[in-house]
Amino acid sequence: MLWVVFVTAAVSRMGYVLAGFDVPLQDTADYDEIARNLLNGAGFVARENWFGYELHSWRAPLYPFFLAGVYGLFGYSHLAVQLVQVLIGAVTAALVYALGRKIHPPSAATAGLVAAVYGPLVASANEVMSETLFTFCLLLPVYLLSPAQDAGGTTAWPADRSRGKRDRYRFLAVGIAIGVAALARPVALILWPVAALWELRRRRMAHPPSPPLTWPVLWLSLGVVVALAPWTVRNWQVHGSLVTVSTHGGFIIARSNSADPDWRKADGWRIERSTFEETPSETERDRQWLHQGLSFVASNPGLYLRLAGERFLRFWYFLQPAYNIWFAGLFPFFALGLWRYWNRGSFALPGWLILSSTAVFCFVLYGSTRFRLPLEPFFILFAAAFFHDCWRTRGPVVTAAATAAIATLNGLFWWQSDALRQVVLQCLTSMGLR
C-alpha cells in the first residue's frame, strides 16, 4: 500500500504540474534571488525587492538553499523545482500513510490515498514556494516521535538498556528534524515544547512506569540546537547580534497586530523605502517592529482580541481565493475526528500540534490559509480515523448517507460559490468583521 500511495501521489502531482496551471508568485522572487546569489558567490542576500538595501537574514534559509541545489544541478528552471517537489509531495503522502499505520492502522490506507490526491497538497507542488518542503519537514518529526499504538492507546517503555540507547538517538533525530523544519519556517519551533509535553504525558501513562523525562528532553533539545546552531552562528557573524533563524518575525508581528493590519488590505505587506532609510540596520528594524507589535497588544487588549477572533475565522475560511471544495469536504470529518481523538493515545501529538499552531496563527500571526496547509495532512489523519470508526460503529449505510449528504451540500456550495461568498462577506461586515 505504501507504494500505491506514493505512485498515486506522484502521478496526481505530475499531472497537475504538466497541465500548466498558473503559478502564484508571492515570495518566489525573493527566494529566487537568494538562490541565484548563493550560486554566483554573492552569499545569502536579497536586495532587488528592497530598494537596493541588503537583507541577509530576511528569509528562513532552507528553501533558498533547496532552490540553489536544484538550480545548481539542473540550471535555472522552475519546472525542475516543481518536478523535485512532485517527489517530495509523493513522499509526504507516503509518510501520512506510514504515520497512520502508527496511530490508527485501520484508517491508514484511507488517509494515505486522500493525501495522495488532496487538491491543495497536489497544487502546492506547482508553486515555487516553501509549502511542499515545509509540509514534509513538519510531518517528519511527528512520525519519528510517534510510537506504534497498542490496543489500549499506549506503548510500554522498553526496559533493556540497548533499546534505551536507541531511543536517545531517536530523540536526537526528532530534535534535529524539528530544527530543520524551523529553518524552513521558524513557526515549526512550536513542535519543540509540544513534543516535550507529549512525551511527559506518555511516560506518565505508560505501564510499567517510564524513566524520568529529563534525558529525553535534553536529547530532543540538543537535536534542535545542533540543527539551528550553524545558521545562528552565521547570523551572529553577519549581524553581530543574536538572530536564531530570520529577521522576519518582528515585521509579521507588527503588521499583523495594529489598528489597520496588513492582512486586511488588498495591497498589504509593503515596506516603504523610508523605512530602510530611517533604520538601515536589518536587526534594528526587526526589534523596532517587534516592539511596535507588542506595544499595540499591550495598549489595545480589546481590539487585539477582536483581531484574534477575525484571524481565527480567516484561518478556517474556505472561500479564499476561490471555493476550496477539498477542505470544505474534509472539514466535517476532521472536526469530528479532532473532537473525539485529539487527546487519545498517539493522536495526542498531532492533536496538540494542531491546537497550539492554530493559537499561534490566530493570536500572534495573521491566520492565513497558507499557514493551514502544512497542517492539513494531520487533518486528513483525524478525518480518516473518524470515517473508519463511524463505518465500524454506525454501519456502512449511515456512514455512506452522511458522506453523500456532505458531498452534495459541498457541491452546491461550490456551484454557488460566488453567491455564497457575498452572503458570508455581508454577514461578516454586519458584525464589524472583514
- Indicate whether 104 belongs to any domain: yes
Containing structural domain, residue 46: 1-132
* Statement: residue 72 has pLDDT above 80: yes
- Indicate whether 408 belongs to any domain: no
- Indicate whether 7 belongs to any domain: yes
How much of the chain exceeds pLDDT 90, in percent? 65
pLDDT band per the 50, 70, 90 thresholds, residue 204? confident
- Provide the pLDDT for residue 207: 59
| Cα-based torsion angle of the residue sequence 209, 214, 215, 218 in order, rounded to the nearest 10 degrees | 150
**Residues 6 or more apart whose Cβ sits within 8 Å of residue 55:** 45, 46, 47, 247, 282
State the number of CA atoms in the 13 A half-sphere of 222 facing the CB: 12
How many Å separate Cα 170 from the centre of its chain?
22
Residue 55's φ and ψ, nearest 5 degrees, are -110, 115
Residue 45's φ and ψ, nearest 5 degrees, are -155, 145
- Provide the pLDDT for residue 23: 78
Distances (CA, A) of 219 to 15, 30, 215: 42, 35, 6
- DSSP H helices, 19-61, are 28-40
- Provide the pLDDT for residue 96: 97
* Count of other CB atoms within 10 angstroms of residue 214: 8
Total-model pTM:
0.91
The answer to whether 171 touches 157, Cβ cutoff 8 Å, is no
The answer to whether 101 touches 87, Cβ cutoff 8 Å, is no
- Indicate whether 2 belongs to any domain: yes
The answer to whether 182 touches 211, Cβ cutoff 8 Å, is no
The answer to whether 430 touches 424, Cβ cutoff 8 Å, is no
- DSSP H helices, 300-346, are 301-315, 325-341
Here the cell at position 225 is 540546537
Per-residue pLDDT tens digits for 302-343: 999 999 998 998 899 888 777 888 999 999 999 999 999 988
- Provide the pLDDT for residue 151: 36
Matching residue, cell 506522484: 10
pLDDT band per the 50, 70, 90 thresholds, residue 167? confident
Here the cell at position 434 is 472583514
Residue in 115, 99, 89 with CA at minimum distance from that of residue 351: 99
Residue in 54, 204, 66 with CA at minimum distance from that of residue 137: 66
Q: How far apart are CA 387 and CA 403, in angstroms?
A: 9
Residue 368's φ and ψ, nearest 5 degrees, are -70, 145
- Indicate whether 40 belongs to any domain: yes
- Provide the pLDDT for residue 146: 87
**Residues 6 or more apart whose Cβ sits within 8 Å of residue 139:** 92, 95, 96, 99, 377, 378
Q: How far apart are CA 19 and CA 39, in angstroms?
A: 30
The answer to whether 348 touches 145, Cβ cutoff 8 Å, is no
* Statement: residue 137 has pLDDT above 80: yes
How much of the chain exceeds pLDDT 70, in percent? 92
Matching residue, cell 543574536: 242
Per-residue pLDDT tens digits for 234-292: 999 999 999 999 999 999 999 999 998 988 887 778 899 999 989 999 999 999 999 99
How many Å separate Cα 237 from the centre of its chain?
29
Matching residue, cell 554566483: 40
Residue 300's φ and ψ, nearest 5 degrees, are -135, 60
- Provide the pLDDT for residue 149: 59
- Indicate whether 25 belongs to any domain: yes
- 3-state secondary structure at position 124: helix
- Indicate whether 271 belongs to any domain: no
Q: How far apart are CA 158 and CA 419, in angstroms?
A: 58
Strand-pairing partners, residue 389, are: none
Our count of domains for the chain comes to: 1
Give the H or E element holding residue 354: helix 348-363
**44-54 burial code (b ≥16 CB/10 A, e <16):** bebeeebeebe
The dihedral built from the CA positions of residue 409, 415, 416 and 420, taken in this order, carries a sign that is: positive
State the number of CA atoms in the 13 A half-sphere of 202 facing the CB: 24
* Statement: residue 232 has pLDDT above 60: yes
- Indicate whether 434 belongs to any domain: no
Q: How far apart are CA 88 and CA 9, in angstroms?
A: 10
pLDDT band per the 50, 70, 90 thresholds, residue 152? very low
